Structure 1
Amino acid sequence: MNFAEILLERKLLLIGNFVLTSGKVSPYYLDLRPLPSYPEFYEIVHIALKIVKELPHDILIGIATGGVPLASFIACNLKEPMGYIRIEKKGHGANKLLEVDVRGKRVLLIDDVATTGISLEKAALEIMRQGGKVTDALVIIDRQEGASQRLSKIGVTIHSLFKISDILDELIKSNRLGDNEKKAIIDYLVKNIEK
């Protein structure tokens, strides 16, 4: 499976100028939320299963919204419990972030993309606050912009199925991008990818 080509063909990876949540301008944008609607998602789940089986955990927690489908498919395949955590409280009902009891449990956090790691860190800290233990997180793509360093400070190791540098390197070597797009991506990677 050439995931870089799939991302481009399915328009899950867009090339251009995009303002990220952090305010940075990026020459590419990843939106993996539609990925479960494509058959390639099953291959992604299969790759993830191999990693998850090696990581210590009692329960899988998907980060809403991107991590929930992956966590669900993994949990169903492994016949394991799962839950999810919101980015923010809904403001009504029980007004909870975490929709599962994690007290005394080892939690494996699941999300689609990691950039700076802020949402993963927030989720991990909330789980710890509620009595759970988080040592590992799994994402489909690591944008390599600080997530692993941020998470390591709270004792969490990030695992990814793919690194953005590898995906973009494949696209740069292909004939799918124009010279200006290649240059913009290379410049961005040099300035922003964590070493």
Structure 2
Amino acid sequence: MVSEGGKSPSGASTGDAVTEDRLFQALYGMEVFRLGEYYLKSGQMTPIYIDLRRIISHPKTLRMAAQAICDIIVAKGLQCDYVVGVPYAALPLATGVYQAGGTALVVEDVVTSGESIRETTEALRNEGLKVTDAVAVLDRQQGGTKELSKASINFHSVLTMEKILDGMIAKNQITEERKKEIIEHLKKPF
């Protein structure tokens, strides 16, 4: 759900509602949203899993997600010299070519606690880069925005868990009551 000004209820920055809806529809069609009992990297059980790894096999949806991220960068006036993806499967940051003093924008697919972005930002800052912002396709709304703020990182997302759950209600995949149960579960501390 997006309110006026492109902000989600959590305060995370979002793209425009049309882009959000199109991206949700495309991701939903790819069956990236799965209900059940899943365990996250943190070890926490979750009643909903979002598998954005599937997006790489769908170029149109990948392009749509990339464009939505670019739209946020432009709309928010984010400035950067480098765009750095959060390392996948512990790929070293050394694979990039950076110069100390430059500004890096960190990009992630799904944010839960914000730990991966925070760790990546810490490594970049240790190499002399400035990092003030991070952008993700989806904010699970499990405290990542707050934790990143503590690390002086402004967090922006295209979609939020609330938007995903509202879309699933519209598709009669879950009820409003089930949405409330999922939201309550996601509020539990790690």
The CA distance in 2 between the partners of 1:109 and 1:147, in whole Å, is 14
Distance 1:186 1:4, change over 3 A: farther
1:34 aligns with 2:54: yes
**Map of 2:71 onto structure 1:** 50
TM-score w.r.t. the length of structure 1 is 0.75
> In the alignment, is the contact (CA less than 8 A) between 1:4 and 1:168 conserved in 2?
no
Paired residues, what number? 165
**Structure 1: 5+ residue runs without aligned partners?**
66-85, 90-95
Structure 1 residue 169 displacement after superposition: 1.6
Equivalence map 1:8-157=2 (5 Å): 8-38=28-58, 39-53=60-74, 54-65=77-88, 87=90, 89=92, 97=94, 99-157=96-154
Mark the structure with the bigger radius of gyration.
1
2 CA distance for matches of 1:4 and 1:176? 14
Q: Counterpart of 1:33 in 2: which secondary structure? A: helix
The change in CA–CA distance for 1:119 and 1:29 in structure 2 (over 3 A counts) is: same
* Structure with higher RCO (Cα < 8 A, 6+ apart): 2
SS of the residue aligned with 2:53?
coil
Q: Cα distance, 1:185 vs. partner? A: 4.0
Contact between 1:143 and 1:193, CA under 8 Å: does it hold in 2? no
Shift of 1:88: 5.8
| 8 A Cα contact 1:14 1:29, kept in partner | yes
Q: Which moved more, 1:109-118 or 1:99-108?
A: 99-108
Moved more, 182-191 or 14-23: 182-191
Aligned to 1:186: 180
Q: Which moved more, 1:3-12 or 1:100-109?
A: 3-12
Q: How many angstroms does 1:19 deviate by?
A: 1.3
8 Å contact kept, 1:5–1:171: no
- The alignment's C-alpha RMSD in Å is 2.2
Q: Give the distance between the partners of 1:183 and 1:163, measured in 2 at CA.
A: 18
Letter in 1 for 2:73: V
**Aligned partners of 1:138 and 1:159 also within 8 Å:** yes
User: For residues 49-95 of structure 1, what are the alpha-carbon distances to aligned partners after superposition, in whole Å with 9 as ceiling and x for unaligned?
Assistant: 12223202111111123xxxxxxxxxxxxxxxxxxxx7365xxxxxx
Is the 1:4–1:171 contact (alpha carbons within 8 Å) kept by the matching residues of 2? no
| d(CA) in 2 for partners of 1:52, 1:173 | 29
Change (3 A) 1:188 1:97: farther
